Amino acid sequence: MELTNNQAALIIETSDTGEITVNVATPDFDGLSGKVCQAIAMKLMQDVDFQEEIMRMVEEENP
């Protein structure tokens, strides 16, 4: 997948042990989309309440 300068993507990888890794892909880390993606990635990795909220949402969709 190729991204243009105004695009960014979160890449979320899960291991067999359930560990989650978050990366950002973008050709322009200083552009708005790159900065927004980086902020979301940081929040996802550092904010325990946000992590728990996401996991609750996932579990509710997949009982």
Stated pTM of the model: 0.82
pLDDT score, position 35 = 97
pLDDT score, position 24 = 97
- Per-residue pLDDT 10s for the chain (63 aa) are 899 999 999 999 999 998 889 999 999 999 999 999 999 999 999 999 998 999 899 899 876
Between the alpha carbon of residue 45 and those of residues 9, 17, 20, 54, 56, the distances in Å are 16, 17, 9, 12, 16
pLDDT score, position 62 = 75
